[in-house]
Amino acid sequence: MKFDFLRRIYLSDTDAAGVVYFAKGLEICHQAYEESLIWGGISLKQMIQEGKIALPIVHAEIDFLRPLFCGDRIQISLVASLINDSEFAIAYQISPVDHLEQILVKAQTRHICINPQIRQRIDLPAMILKWLRV
């Protein structure tokens, strides 16, 4: 699954040095992930309310190749891929909207599917497998 999300860097995304810091970088990537789920017809609100599955992040990494500043317009490109029956990964690249060939940030998250009631790993549901194939 491939998805592109446009966003602006806001003052609240930056630290005292005026640049996006690692936690905000991962938060920006997560926003793109959530938008991709919405685009794929998946309601996180409904998923949480039903309480049958959760998709926690079990691994995250981020590399800043160049700084992101307040006012920058960026594109977050993500590619999600199936790892096994209960796990998927998402690779992110952040680029300036006006220079998409320039990569500013690379990140990756790995998610597992669990039953939140018993905190045990379960197979990914059909809706997530469909989203991964889009």
Tokens, residue 78: 């993500």
CA distances 78 to 1, 48, 82, 106, Å, are 8, 23, 13, 10
Element (H, E) at 61: strand 57-64
Catalytic residue among 15, 63, 85, 123: 15
CB 1 within 8 A of CB 66: no
Q: Which residues contact 28 (CB under 8 A, 6 or more apart)?
A: 7, 13, 20, 74, 76, 94
Q: Which residues contact 97 (CB under 8 A, 6 or more apart)?
A: 6, 73, 74, 75
Does the annotation mark 98 as catalytic? no
Catalytic residues: 15
